[in-house]
Amino acid sequence: MMGACISSEEYDQQQSSEDSDTSDEIQASSTKDSLEIQKSSTKDSLEIQEYSTEDSFEILSTQNVSNVKDLRRNPGYTKLDSFTYDEMRMATRFFRKSELLGEGGFGPVYKGLIDDTIRSGYPTTEVAVKVLNHEGFQGDTEWLTEVNYLGHLQHPNLVKLVGYCCEDDQRLLVYEFMAGGSLENHIFTKEDAPNMLTWSRRLKIAINAAKGLAFLHNAKRPVIFRDFKTSNVLLDANFKAKLSDFGLAKDGPLGDLTHVTTLVKGTPGYAAPEYMMTGHLTPMCDIYAFGVVLLELLFGEPAVDKRRPSGETYLVDRAIPLLIKNKSALTREIDPRMKGQYTSKAVLKVAELAYSCIKEHPRKRPSMTDVVEILETIQKHELLEVKGNKVKGGVEVKGNKVKGGGKNKASK
Ligand SMILES: Nc1ncnc2c1ncn2[C@@H]1O[C@H](COP(=O)(O)OP(=O)(O)OP(=O)(O)O)[C@@H](O)[C@H]1O
Ligand SMILES: [Mg+2]
């Protein structure tokens, strides 16, 4: 086994030294679409600690890798494959443009196929290959964080890391291919495009994503995802959702600690206000971000819309007045592409849940376990309503035909 393992005392020392690190002078720098407040000095090593198998769906390894040298010496992750750069080049047909799936802060992502011709005996596997862009703002730290978390944790609602490539200064991540792409790719498509995201699919996606977060939060050593947003929710061909991108993930507080203090990293529009102000990170920050994604699912609007006048840029700011007291205005704002697919009762319940998730006071937010339970109850009732062809809350469901519910927005 590799990667020096440290005791919990050592870990606490490390954690508190990071706490004090953040009191150093910080400088704000806004990068592309992501907000980052960075210290002038950066750490290049990751925290190391043990994971307990308790409460976890599957733990693949018990130790983290502290740096790239260690990883090369002894990867320790039995379920992760180590690929060569040449293998990845062949799998992606020389990183062909036509295979490009998208590009984020880490670098471009290509579709790839690994099979017997790439590596003898390898089962045919469709993959997504993420390649570190050396000119970007991410590097070994984010790459290793991803390998460490996804090398340890496996759950039906976390995207599977198939392996990685760490050759010279190349850093690649090889994931299971998610045929549906990201939730972001679907949710903001133009109105004339066929609407793949029906109400029942949105509910299912919300439940899947909530289960992924609940799994992380309920691990013995809780994990805070820190970058929950529609582009990090990937969909398979059946609209099953999985969380991707652990580059910013962080171990949650243990024992009497209420939070971990970190550099503020994340995405504007999703980052919890208390985290932005103090750098105090708790699982409640993920719950806030989940509330924002619920609003995006309900309204079909992005968390941040820079085309809108200031004061209306953030979806949360536009949604709160509706969530507080204006039920009829709220139902009128529901994404018109879902017209006739929902009962008002269900959307109002989801809106209520979203509102509780984005409460300013973190302690007033529900836990992810509560969120899963509430969403599953809403889903169950919604199915019963539709099956029973009942008329509820202004939405009439007759056989397959539905009247009412939602207005048709002329333009988006
Ligand atoms: N496993 C995958 N299967 C299929 N497509 C993927 C996969 N991973 C990523 N993608 C595609 O690549 C795009 C870029 O993903 P990436 O996670 O690098 O950036 P992002 O989430 O858009 O931005 P950010 O860097 O802010 O997280 C995604 O939007 C998605 O369309
Ligand atoms: Mg992403």
Helix 368-387 / helix 283-299 crossing angle, nearest 10 deg: 30
Check if 178 has its Cβ closer than 6 Å to any atom of ligand 1.
Answer: yes
CA–CA distance, 405 with 108 (Å, rounded to integer): 40
- How do 81-82 and 161-167 pair as beta strands? parallel
Which of 399, 409, 395, 3 minimizes the C-alpha distance to 199? Answer: 395
How far from 168 is each of 2, 165, 171, CA to CA, in Å?
20, 10, 8
Distance 102 CA to ligand 2 centre (A): 9
State residue 10's pLDDT score: 31
The residue whose CA has the least distance to atom 18 of ligand 1 is 104
| CA distance readout (Å), 290 to 58, 90, 151, 253, 400 | 24, 38, 24, 19, 31
Cα–Cα distance between 90 and 234 in angstroms, integer?
25
Q: Which amino acid appears at position 156 of this protein?
A: P
Gap between the Cα atoms of 11 and 30, Å rounded: 31
Q: Are 174 and 163 in contact (CB under 8 A)?
A: yes
Q: How far lies 35's CA from each of 30, 65, 133, 227, 394, in Å? A: 5, 27, 18, 11, 41
133 Cβ closer than 6 Å to some ligand 1 atom:
no
What stretches in the chain show pLDDT beneath 70? 1-78, 190-194, 387-412
Among 319, 308, 292, CA closest to 232: 292
How far, in Å, are 271, 301, 355 from residue 305 at the CA level? 15, 8, 20
User: Do 405 and 394 form a contact (C-beta atoms < 8 A)?
Assistant: yes
- DSSP single-letter state for residue 344: H
- Coil vs helix vs strand at 346: helix
Phi, psi (deg, nearest 5) at residue 27? -125, 140
- List, by residue number, the catalytic residues: 227
Identify the CA nearest to 146 among candidates 247, 234, 53.
Answer: 247
Ligand 1 atom closest to residue 107's alpha carbon, by position in its atom list: 18
- Closest of 225, 196, 220, 222 to residue 210, by C-alpha: 225
pLDDT in tens, 331-380: 999 999 999 999 999 999 999 999 999 999 999 999 999 999 999 999 99
Pairwise CA distance, residues 246 & 145, whole Å: 7
270 lines ligand 1 (CB under 6 A): no
Closest CA to 378 of 339, 406, 407, 342: 342
Closest among 4, 8, 150, 145 to 63, alpha carbons compared: 4
Structure tokens at 186: 């679907």
Longest dimension (CA), the chain: 64
Tell me, in angstroms, the distance from the centre of ligand 2 to residue 216's CA.
Answer: 17
Q: Which residue has the tokens 């035909």?
A: 401
Q: Choose among 281, 272, 283: nearest CA to 210.
A: 283
The reported pLDDT for the residue numbered 256 is 72
CA-nearest of 173, 172, 166, 168 to 74 is: 166
Enumerate domains of the chain plus CATH numbers: 25-52+180-411 (1.10.510.10), 68-176 (3.30.200.20)
Q: Decide whether any atom of ligand 1 lies within 6 Å of the 230 Cβ.
A: no
- Bridge partners of residue 242, in order along the sequence: 234
Cα(82) to ligand 1 centroid in Å equals 21
Sorted by sequence, the CB contacts under 8 Å of residue 13 that are 6+ apart come out as: none
Hunting for tokens 């709160």 — which residue is that?
Answer: 320
Helix (H, G, I), strand (E, B) or coil at 79: coil
Closest ligand 1 atom to Cα of 104 = 19
